[in-house]
């Protein structure tokens, strides 16, 4: 009923970027910015909280349920925390024919977690995902962090573990 | 001159730099269009070139543009860079390494249909690519190829990127538009088609990245030149994304009409580990399964000949399957994909893919009887032609052709075939 | 006229307007094509695929453009190889639709089988069982047995509260999206949505409170399965155990047609009990919807607090008495009072009650006063909307003006229909002192300062009319305002105009003046006496218009009127409860009510009245449509209908009144009042076929809304034209520097008819005020503080809500919230939280 003006975490921090995002779309189509704002929100914690959904709704002139629906529909948005680095390995048809499934199993075994789980230190979550458009460079994965997305192609378990080591050290 | 028309970066180093691209004839086509041609003339040239959409449906590009409703404004162009079909990875290479040719293509299409704003819809996973494109768009603007008064004319254009967030269905053109509007990526009813009712309800052209990347050279060198590649009905070159059990997977730019054999054996280096080829999926996971016999291998890969094998060329994502792979496993994978990606809007796809997933899993695990194979076939045929969009229809292609054409793989998995149960296309008690 | 198209459906030849969808054409022809996602009130989406049919079209020779003919000369029909959805395909000339062919039936069976793979077979414990489209269609078309392995079924949460009023059973949901589309397309509040995708799709609500909408209950009617149920009815009864009675909602002036479902049950000691309120179709009034207050706030009728016998004061105490004793006492004292009798009644009563009360009072020269803060009912009778007025028919050619009203809160179904009209192109002009939700759909939004509502309308009149009406100095800025001038021109040029005026920020004097201003505007622009033209009052109660029509008038100074009376006869009103300063009574006071109200506690005689669920009667809606309601449950103990009580009092005073048949009272009304001359109970109960067709045996089409078989009511003719009044524009002097409390109206208030419905308690706020944020800062008040407000000497503790939309110097104070406010008043506030700290 009365707008709750407490929630302006995003606006406070990223006001310039928000304006840039909104500028892409016609003035009466702010709703188009919802997805971009959700990516922005995930920069902080890797997932979207309810108050932030409320804030995005306000910025885009929608309602919080609209925003929640978007979070639910699209697989790159999360409403729960995961590891700082989400390693998302493609195990779809083509990659599976090039050893992607064995790669995931072995990687997880080395990390002492199951697929879909997060390492104890909260650093890494390993997930199986659908085709990433890199079928000729399997095994491959993308890493989703607050910063964005990054591809790692032609992987071996050793290479990947090395990468994870580097992340650990840089923490 | 580079032997490549699309993957020109492969022999022109640094073509992803604006000045190099310009030295290589960049923006000649766009300039020619804007400065010396009416928008309709551009459309005519593209019609004459016979260019067909590279996103899957193979629809004539110029004809699509001609459907734009000129009674409603503004017009929009959206580039479909969702590229999520398993086995497809061509648009990505273009955008990463030959980005300006693609962007010039977007600009040409925009001019031709009178759009002053174009959006590039990239799958969320292409986050890096979107960032790079943003920089390149800014460079183009700086150089006067975008913005107001382009080439001193009254034409103005802005190009923006828009990121998806992990949903294959957003490659379907109307779901893509919904997604740009900030809604769930669920397909709309058609008709009306996007050229009449598109983004924000306005006339919109949706074209695939590869389709658009063809445009600069067509404008620069002419329709006739373009027609010198490929076949009469499928002119031009095509990027074939080759993956699966081959020695050298990757993108291969070849004239349309090149036979499968040439792609798989000459370019792809043949089947790996000394195995024999068993099946081909010419259009990614959405594809029917082709028995890879001699006839199939000699079939030209183009829009008119692939259908003779009971399949479609689609996006030309050729997945090669060798004899180490059981087809029941393969369809379990494809069905899993479609079940995961079904948007849920229509009943047959939402429920059918879910049901097929159970069945394929049980069959592959050896926990099924022939009855289940029959049931799987029935469920698939029950979905056929009833879905709201093509995703649901795609999902049954591999299942039905797999069971029809590779029955032995299933018999092996479930034990004996009960011959009293039929399999035919319309089977249903 | 739109072109007619002729086609054949299952062998039956039908002609329908061009553009009609096949499903609807079939429906009109009496052929059922089953649907789940399609709903005739919403845009087709073609999601569920249940309506698949075979469609053939006449073959046309490409070369000649001529029809290709068969040997016998009939056009050759070409069938499309695929089944097509009847819900998305418009008819075309010569089309041949096969809905009952083997192929179509097989397609339907396929879809049903798909839907059932995920659906639990819990019909025996499902609230929808017995009126469930999926159940019915499965029996009709479904496969006999499942080929799906039971242990592969998805098992999902079965009791998910979307809010405290509506529950979701995730297993039962078939993802047809009707509920989500209802909320976004029809209501315009996306407070529920889909989450996830594919088979995992589920309905969610993230609003605070959950499913935050006044219209949530309607989703349970249109849900084609038992996925959405109301907290009020779920697990309460099975549909086939219920009896149904036609009624009219008694909460607001819209007059929604409802059906009261009742059953006799052991848990209630064998009594008849109201189990639920359902919408009943009246396309001219509420279509097929009702608001949640109408649906859920019925529990007061069965409250254990209800009065059940007459009471008479003896030795200072009210004690139970027999009817004769009580009636004799009242009649005697009324006769003695003569023209010093004051009858105070509210628009909660029916026309018949009000007529008898008025007749009794006027027969002995007494005064009949309407208990209301809102004036203008005489004007709505004179320039009220023309016969045939229907919001559903309004489009581009009509201007709709809303002034001084937060329509969503005051008349939710009007809000809905006005919104839809605006979306169809009607020129909606919202004129309010603050932002309201309807602004979103308005073509023009005008603002004025509280107290200047009639000034703004007069400024419009003066902008377009040759005859200038009196202006005050204060109006100057409105007169010069270009927006106002343009708006005035828009209205003058519109083919039709309706004005809905309310009482936001206004007391009696202000609203009367506003009504006069609006009437003048309609007169000078010629928007009277025709359908979709005229004045509508957004009254605080359901039958205020009826009360005005029979002669009741509000009093400018109620306190004085009450003080000067020798005897008071108060029906359906609680002045002492609402305004402590009205607690002083006359020598003798009779109260007739459902409850022992604060006023009743002070009375000498108390008559127990029947609730509207127990009796017959009629209400006159704000659109001046007279509508009948019927008894649904037997009377509570010794209660009587209000009109019977007053007839019995009257009889003892030697005045003849009808006491038994409400219909005969209506005959007397018809004989006494020219506007009502055409009205009779027989005519009120007539129906004609409505579109869309609902009810019957195909609940999948329109939902469980009841078909109307008991009467669509009749709209009254407007009366004589009043002359333009020179009434000076009302202008409350609200000098600056002071704080002014102005009343606003809310749907969920703390009124007597609301509070007994416990399930709505979470939605009823505590007494509160709304104050401008800067103003609050000056006063050291922050959001949520408890403040003491002193209003006309009465102190109330209220919660402070801050809002920048409220003008400086103004406090919004909701009515019927336990704070005594009738008209703008100056107040002082103190921060109690601060004092305590
Ligand atoms: C489920 C589905 C997914 C699709 N995915 C893509 C895609 O990722 N990229 C694409 O260009 N076209 C995709 N398409 C095809 C588009 O709907 C559309 O036909 C195409 O973008 C048109 O461009 P074109 O004419 O240039 O080929 C998809 C279609 C469907 C039904
Ligand atoms: S076929 Fe149906 S459920 Fe599947 S993606 Fe298309 S619309 Fe959605
Ligand atoms: S698809 Fe026609 S009713 Fe659902």
Q: How far apart are CA C511 and CA C516, in angstroms?
A: 8
Q: Which residue has the tokens 């559903």?
A: C392
Token code pair at residue C115: 């839907």
Q: How far apart are CA C336 and CA C364, in angstroms?
A: 10
The answer to whether residue A79 sits within a structural domain is no
Please compute the mean of the pLDDT values over residues C169-186 and round it to a whole number: 97
Chain C residues in contact with B358 by the CB 8 A cut-off are 149, 152
Count of other CB atoms within 10 angstroms of residue A163: 17
Best residue among B208, B303, B313 to mutate for probing ligand 1, ranked by most atoms within 8 Å of CB: B208
Between the CA of C22 and the centroid of ligand 3 the distance, in Å, is 11
pLDDT surpassing 50 at residue C764:
yes
Fold annotation for C115-230: Alpha-Beta Plaits (3.30.70)
Q: Does C628 touch chain B (CB under 8 A)?
A: no
The answer to whether residue A154 sits within a structural domain is yes
Interface probe with A: pick from B243, B272, B402, most Cβ of A within 10 Å: B243
Please compute the mean of the pLDDT values over residues B181-192 and round it to a whole number: 96
* E strand or H helix at A169: helix A157-170
Rg (C-alpha) for chain B, rounded Å, is: 22
Domain end residue (candidates: A73, A96, A123): A73
Touching partners of B (3+ C-beta pairs < 8 Å): A, C
Q: Specify the range with the lowest mean pLDDT, choosing from B321-330, C725-734, C744-753.
A: C725-734
| Reduced DSSP (H G I as helix, E B as strand, rest coil) percent helix, strand, coil of chain A, to 5 | 50, 15, 35
Closest ligand to C137 CA?
3
Please compute the mean of the pLDDT values over residues B391-401 and round it to a whole number: 98
Q: How far apart are CA A42 and CA A53, in angstroms?
A: 11
Chain B residues in contact with C196 by the CB 8 A cut-off are 344
* Max Cα-Cα span within chain C: 103
The three-state DSSP-derived secondary structure of C479-508 is HCCHHHHHHHHHHHHCCEEEEEECCCCCCH
CB contact under 8 A, C194 and A72: yes
- Provide the edge-to-edge strand list for the sheet that holds B237-244: B250-255, B237-244, B317-322, B277-285, B290-291
Cβ-Cβ contacts under 8 Å between A and C: the total is 44
Chain C residues 797-836 with CB within 8 Å of chain A? 801-803
Chain C residues 123-152 with CB within 8 Å of chain B? 147-149, 152
Q: How far apart are CA B330 and CA B364, in angstroms?
A: 9
Q: How far apart are CA B424 and CA B427, in angstroms?
A: 5
Adjacent-strand bridge partners of C87? none
Q: Does C196 touch chain A (CB under 8 A)?
A: yes
Query: For the domain that residue A33 is a member of, what is the CATH number?
Result: 1.10.10.1590
The answer to whether residue A55 sits within a structural domain is yes
Ligand 2 close to Cβ of residue B349 (< 6 A): yes
pLDDT surpassing 90 at residue C152:
no
Taking only the tens place, the pLDDT of each residue in C697-735 is: 778 899 999 999 999 999 998 776 666 676 666 666 677
* Max Cα-Cα span within chain B: 75
pLDDT surpassing 90 at residue C324:
yes
Q: C90: which DSSP letter?
A: B
Would strands C810-814 and C739-744 be described as parallel, antiparallel, or unpaired?
parallel
Chain C residues in contact with B386 by the CB 8 A cut-off are 49, 52, 82-83, 107, 110-111
Q: How far apart are CA B216 and CA B227, in angstroms?
A: 15
**Amino acid C118: pLDDT:** 83
User: Do residues A42 and A105 both lie within one domain?
Assistant: no
User: Do residues A91 and A41 both lie within one domain?
Assistant: no
Instruction: Report which ligand 2 atom has the smallest distance to the Cα of B353.
Output: 4
pLDDT band at C835 (very low <50, low <70, confident <90, very high): low
pLDDT surpassing 70 at residue B123:
yes
The answer to whether residue A140 sits within a structural domain is yes
Q: How far off is chain A from B371, nearest CA to CA, in Å? A: 26
**Amino acid B227: pLDDT:** 97
Percent of chain C with pLDDT over 70: 97
Between the CA of B188 and the centroid of ligand 2 the distance, in Å, is 10
Q: How far apart are CA C258 and CA C274, in angstroms?
A: 13
Ligand 2 close to Cβ of residue B353 (< 6 A): no
Q: How far apart are CA B314 and CA A107, in angstroms?
A: 35
pLDDT surpassing 90 at residue B421:
no
Q: Which of A38, A92, A129 lies nearest to residue B333, judging by beta carbons?
A: A92
Please compute the mean of the pLDDT values over residues A25-34 and round it to a whole number: 98
User: Do residues A151 and A97 both lie within one domain?
Assistant: yes
Ligand 2 close to Cβ of residue B175 (< 6 A): no
User: Do residues A51 and A117 both lie within one domain?
Assistant: no
User: Do residues A91 and A63 both lie within one domain?
Assistant: no
Q: Tell me the pLDDT of chain C averaged across its residues.
A: 93
Q: Is the dihedral of CA C638, C641, C645, C647 positive or negative?
A: negative
Q: How far apart are CA C472 and CA C490, in angstroms?
A: 24
Query: For the domain that residue A162 is a member of, what is the CATH number?
Result: 3.40.30.10
Q: How far apart are CA C63 and CA B214, in angstroms?
A: 36
Q: Which CATH architecture has domain C377-538?
A: 3-Layer(aba) Sandwich (3.40)
b/e burial code for range A129-162 (CB count within 10 A of at least 16 → b): bbbbbbbbbbbbbbbbeeeebebbeebebeebee
CA-nearest of C164, C144, C236, C260 to C205 is C164
The answer to whether residue A4 sits within a structural domain is no
The answer to whether residue A117 sits within a structural domain is yes
User: Do residues A61 and A89 both lie within one domain?
Assistant: no
**Amino acid C2: pLDDT:** 84
Chain A residues in contact with B92 by the CB 8 A cut-off are 133-134
Residue of chain A whose Cα is closest to the Cα of C210: A65
pLDDT band at C49 (very low <50, low <70, confident <90, very high): very high
User: Do residues A100 and A158 both lie within one domain?
Assistant: yes
**Amino acid A2: pLDDT:** 32
CB contact under 8 A, A66 and C205: no
Q: Does B372 touch chain C (CB under 8 A)?
A: no
Q: How far off is chain B from A32, nearest CA to CA, in Å? A: 4
Q: How far off is chain B from C30, nearest CA to CA, in Å? A: 26
Please compute the mean of the pLDDT values over residues C71-99 and round it to a whole number: 95
**Amino acid A5: pLDDT:** 40
Domain of residue A152: give its range.
Answer: 85-169
Residue of chain A whose Cα is closest to the Cα of B86: A131
CB contact under 8 A, A63 and C190: yes
Taking only the tens place, the pLDDT of each residue in C298-323 is: 999 999 999 999 999 999 999 999 99
Residue of chain B whose Cα is closest to the Cα of C52: B386
Adjacent-strand bridge partners of C795? C790
User: Do residues A64 and A107 both lie within one domain?
Assistant: no
Q: How far apart are CA B414 and CA C662, in angstroms?
A: 77
Q: Which of C193, C770, C801 lies nearest to residue A65, judging by beta carbons?
A: C193
Percent of chain B with pLDDT over 70: 97
Q: How far apart are CA C738 and CA C380, in angstroms?
A: 35
Best residue among C22, C24, C38, C698 to mutate for probing ligand 3, ranked by most atoms within 8 Å of CB: C38
Domain ranges of chain C: 4-100, 115-230, 377-538, 739-836
CATH fit for domain C4-100, picks 2.60.120.560, 3.40.50.720, 3.90.1150.10, 3.10.20.740:
3.10.20.740
**Amino acid C735: pLDDT:** 77
Please compute the mean of the pLDDT values over residues C632-638 and round it to a whole number: 95
Q: How far apart are CA C395 and CA C418, in angstroms?
A: 10
Q: How far apart are CA B213 and CA B219, in angstroms?
A: 11
pLDDT surpassing 90 at residue C600:
yes
Q: How far off is chain B from A26, nearest CA to CA, in Å? A: 9
- Closest residue by Cα to atom 2, ligand 2, is B346
- Runs of H (alpha helix) within C526-680: 544-550, 558-564, 575-578, 598-601, 642-652, 662-672
Taking only the tens place, the pLDDT of each residue in C240-249 is: 899 999 999 9
Comparison of pLDDT for B421 and A59, the residue scoring more: A59
Q: How far apart are CA C407 and CA C418, in angstroms?
A: 9
Ligand 3 close to Cβ of residue C35 (< 6 A): yes
CA-nearest of C659, C368, C723 to C516 is C723
Q: How far apart are CA C414 and CA B268, in angstroms?
A: 69
Question: How many structural domains does chain A have?
Answer: 2
Chain A residues in contact with B87 by the CB 8 A cut-off are 93-94, 131, 135
The answer to whether residue A109 sits within a structural domain is yes
Chain A residues in contact with B319 by the CB 8 A cut-off are 93-94, 97, 135
Give the pTM: 0.95
Best residue among B85, B177, B342, B354 to mutate for probing ligand 2, ranked by most atoms within 8 Å of CB: B342
Domain end residue (candidates: A23, A42, A73): A73
Residue range C739-836 in CATH 3.40.50.2020: no
**How far out from the chain centre does Cα C541 lie?**
11
Chain C residues in contact with B169 by the CB 8 A cut-off are 197
Instruction: Report which ligand 1 atom has the smallest distance to the Cα of B211.
Output: 26
Between the CA of B347 and the centroid of ligand 3 the distance, in Å, is 10
Q: How far apart are CA C240 and CA C129, in angstroms?
A: 9
Best residue among B171, B205, B346 to mutate for probing ligand 1, ranked by most atoms within 8 Å of CB: B171
Count of other CB atoms within 10 angstroms of residue C667: 15
The answer to whether residue A2 sits within a structural domain is no
Chain B residues 314-353 with CB within 8 Å of chain C? 339-348, 350-353
**Fold match between domain C115-230 and domain C377-538:** no
Taking only the tens place, the pLDDT of each residue in C581-591 is: 888 778 999 99
Q: How far apart are CA C833 and CA C827, in angstroms?
A: 18
**How far out from the chain centre does Cα C290 lie?**
6
Q: How far apart are CA A111 and CA C754, in angstroms?
A: 60
């Amino acid at each position: 009923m009365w707008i709750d003006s407490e929630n302006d975490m995003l606006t406070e921090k990223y006001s310039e970027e928000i304006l840039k995002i909104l500028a892409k779309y016609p003035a009466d189509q702010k709703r188009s910015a919802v997805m971009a704002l959700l990516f922005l929100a995930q920069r902080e914690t890797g997932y979207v909280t309810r108050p932030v959904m409320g804030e995005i709704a306000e910025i885009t002139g929608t309602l919080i349920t609209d925003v929640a629906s978007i979070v639910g529909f699209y697989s790159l948005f999360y409403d729960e925390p995961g590891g700082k680095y989400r390693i998302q390995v493609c195990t779809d048809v083509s990659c599976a024919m090039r050893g992607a499934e064995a790669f995931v199993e072995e990687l997880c075994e080395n990390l002492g977690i199951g697929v879909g789980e997060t390492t104890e230190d909260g650093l890494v979550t390993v997930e199986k995902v659908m085709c990433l458009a890199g079928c000729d460079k399997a095994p491959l994965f993308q890493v989703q962090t607050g910063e964005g997305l990054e591809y790692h192609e032609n992987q071996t378990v050793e290479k990947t573990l090395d990468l994870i080591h580097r992340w650990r050290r840089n923490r | 001159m580079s032997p490549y028309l699309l993957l020109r970066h492969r022999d022109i180093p640094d073509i992803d730099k604006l000045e190099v691209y310009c030295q290589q004839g960049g923006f000649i086509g766009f300039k020619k269009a804007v400065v010396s041609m009416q928008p309709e003339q551009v459309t005519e040239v593209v019609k004459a070139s016979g260019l067909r959409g590279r996103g899957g449906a193979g629809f004539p590009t110029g004809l699509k543009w001609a459907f734009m409703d000129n009674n409603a404004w503004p017009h929009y162009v959206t580039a479909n860079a969702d590229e999520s079909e398993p086995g497809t990875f061509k648009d990505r290479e273009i955008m990463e390494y030959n980005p300006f040719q693609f962007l010039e293509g977007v600009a040409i299409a925009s001019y031709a249909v009178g759009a002053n704003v174009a959006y590039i819809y990239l799958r969320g996973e292409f986050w890096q690519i979107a960032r790079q494109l943003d920089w390149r768009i800014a460079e183009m603007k700086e150089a006067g190829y975008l913005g107001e008064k382009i080439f001193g004319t009254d034409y103005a254009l802005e190009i923006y990127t828009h990121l998806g967030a992990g949903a294959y269905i957003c490659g379907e053109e109307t779901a893509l538009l919904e997604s740009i509007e900030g809604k769930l990526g669920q397909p709309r009813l058609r008709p009306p088609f996007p050229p009449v009712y598109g983004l924000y309800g306005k006339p919109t052209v949706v074209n695939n990245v590869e389709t658009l990347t063809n445009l600069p050279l067509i404008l620069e060198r002419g329709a006739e030149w373009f027609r010198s590649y490929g076949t009469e009905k499928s002119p031009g070159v095509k990027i074939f994304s080759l993956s699966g059990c081959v020695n050298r997977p990757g993108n291969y730019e070849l004239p349309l009409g090149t036979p499968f054999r040439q792609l798989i054996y000459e370019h792809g280096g043949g089947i790996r580990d000394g195995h024999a080829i068993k099946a081909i999926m010419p259009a990614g996971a959405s594809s029917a399964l082709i028995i890879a016999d001699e006839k199939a291998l000699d079939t030209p890969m183009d829009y008119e000949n692939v259908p003779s094998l009971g399949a479609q060329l689609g996006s030309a994502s050729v997945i090669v399957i060798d004899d180490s792979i059981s087809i029941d496993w393969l369809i379990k994978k494809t069905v899993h994909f479609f079940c995961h990606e079904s948007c849920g809007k229509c009943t047959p796809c939402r429920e059918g893919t879910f049901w097929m997933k159970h069945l394929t899993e049980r069959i592959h695990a050896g926990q099924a009887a022939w009855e289940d194979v029959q049931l799987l076939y029935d469920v698939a045929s029950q979905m056929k032609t009833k879905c709201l969009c093509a995703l649901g229809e795609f999902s049954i292609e591999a299942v039905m052709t797999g069971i029809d054409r590779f029955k032995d793989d299933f018999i092996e998995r479930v034990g004996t075939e009960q011959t009293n149960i039929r399999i035919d296309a319309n089977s249903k008690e | 006229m739109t072109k007619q198209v002729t086609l054949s459906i299952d062998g039956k030849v039908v002609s329908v307007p061009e553009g009609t969808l096949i499903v609807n054409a079939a429906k009109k022809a009496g052929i059922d094509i089953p649907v789940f996602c399609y709903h005739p009130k919403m845009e087709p989406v073609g999601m569920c695929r249940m309506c698949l049919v075979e469609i053939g079209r006449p073959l046309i020779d490409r070369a000649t453009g001529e029809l290709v003919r068969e040997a016998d000369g009939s056009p050759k029909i070409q069938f499309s190889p695929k089944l097509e959805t009847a819900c998305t395909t418009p008819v075309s000339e010569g089309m041949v639709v096969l809905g009952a062919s083997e192929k179509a039936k097989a397609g339907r069976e396929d879809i049903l089988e798909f839907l059932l793979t995920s659906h639990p077979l819990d019909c025996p414990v499902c609230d929808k069982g017995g009126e469930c489209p999926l159940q019915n269609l499965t029996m009709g078309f479904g496969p006999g047995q499942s080929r799906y392995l039971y242990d592969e079924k998805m098992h999902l949460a079965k009791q998910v509260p979307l809010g405290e009023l509506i529950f979701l059973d995730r297993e039962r949901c078939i993802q047809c999206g009707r509920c989500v589309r209802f909320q976004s397309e029809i209501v315009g509040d996306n407070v529920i949505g889909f989450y996830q995708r594919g088979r995992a799709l589920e309905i969610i609500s993230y609003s605070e409170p959950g499913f935050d909408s006044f219209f949530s209950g309607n989703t349970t009617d249109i849900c084609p399965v038992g996925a959405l149920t109301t907290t009020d009815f779920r697990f309460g009864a099975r549909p086939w155990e219920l009896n149904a009675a036609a009624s009219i909602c008694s909460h607001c002036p819209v007059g929604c047609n409802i059906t009261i479902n009742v059953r006799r049950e052991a848990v209630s000691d064998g009594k008849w009990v109201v189990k639920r309120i359902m919408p009943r179709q009246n396309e001219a009034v509420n279509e097929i919807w009702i608001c949640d207050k109408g649906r859920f706030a019925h529990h007061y009728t069965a409250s254990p607090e209800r009065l059940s016998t007459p009471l008479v004061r003896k030795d200072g105490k009210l004690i139970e008495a027999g009817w004769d004793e009580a009636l004799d006492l009242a009649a005697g004292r009324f006769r003695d009072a003569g023209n010093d009798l004051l009858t105070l009644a509210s628009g909660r009563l029916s026309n018949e009650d009000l007529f008898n009360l008025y007749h009794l009072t006027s027969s002995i020269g007494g005064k009949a006063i309407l208990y209301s803060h809102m004036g203008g009912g005489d004007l709505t009778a004179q320039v009220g909307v023309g016969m045939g007025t229907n919001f559903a028919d309004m489009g581009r050619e009509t201007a709709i003006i809303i002034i001084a009203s937060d329509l969503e809160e005051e008349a939710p179904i009007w809000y809905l229909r006005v919104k839809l009209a605006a979306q169809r192109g009607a020129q909606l002009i919202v004129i309010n002192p603050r932002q309201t939700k309807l602004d979103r759909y308005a073509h023009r939004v005008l603002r004025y300062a509280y107290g200047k509502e009639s000034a703004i309308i007069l400024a419009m009149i003066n902008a377009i009319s040759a005859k200038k009406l009196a202006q005050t100095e204060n109006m100057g800025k409105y007169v010069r305002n270009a927006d106002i001038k343009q708006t005035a021109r828009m209205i003058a040029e519109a083919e039709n105009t309706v004005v809905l005026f309310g009482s936001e920020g206004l007391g009696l004097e202000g609203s009367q003046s506003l009504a006069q201003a609006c009437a003048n505007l309609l007169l000078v622009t010629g928007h009277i006496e025709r359908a979709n033209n005229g004045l509508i009052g957004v009254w605080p109660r359901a039958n205020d218009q009826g009360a005005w029509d029979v002669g009741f008038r509000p009093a400018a100074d109620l306190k004085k009127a009450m003080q000067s009376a020798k005897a008071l006869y108060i029906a359906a009103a609680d002045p002492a409860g609402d305004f402590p300063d009205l607690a002083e009574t006359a020598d003798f006071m009779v109260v007739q009510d459902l409850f022992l109200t604060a006023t009743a506690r002070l009375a000498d005689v108390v008559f127990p009245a029947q609730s509207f669920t127990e009796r017959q009667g009629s209400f006159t809606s704000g659109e001046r449509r007279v509508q009948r309601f019927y008894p649904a449950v037997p009377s509570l103990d010794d209660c009587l209908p209000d009109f019977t009580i007053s007839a019995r009092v009257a009889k003892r005073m030697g005045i003849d009144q009808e006491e038994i048949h409400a219909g005969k009272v209506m005959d007397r009304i018809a004989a006494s009042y020219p506007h009502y001359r055409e009205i009779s109970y027989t005519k009120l109960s007539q129906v004609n076929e409505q579109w869309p067709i609902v009810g019957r045996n195909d609940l999948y089409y329109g939902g469980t809304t009841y078909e109307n078989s008991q009467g669509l009511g009749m709209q009254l003719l407007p009366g004589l034209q009043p002359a333009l009044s020179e009434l000076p524009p009302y202008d409350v002097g609200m000098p600056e520097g002071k704080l002014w409390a102005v009343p606003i109206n809310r749907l969920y208030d703390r009124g007597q008819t609301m509070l007994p419905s416990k399930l709505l308690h979470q939605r009823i706020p505590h007494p509160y005020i709304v104050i401008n944020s800067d103003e609050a800062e000056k006063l050291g008040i922050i959001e949520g503080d408890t403040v003491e407000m002193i209003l006309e000497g009465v102190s109330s503790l209220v919660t402070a809500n801050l809002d920048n939309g409220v003008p400086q110097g103004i406090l919004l104070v909701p009515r019927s919230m336990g704070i005594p406010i009738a008209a703008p008043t100056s107040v002082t506030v103190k921060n109690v939280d601060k004092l305590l700290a």
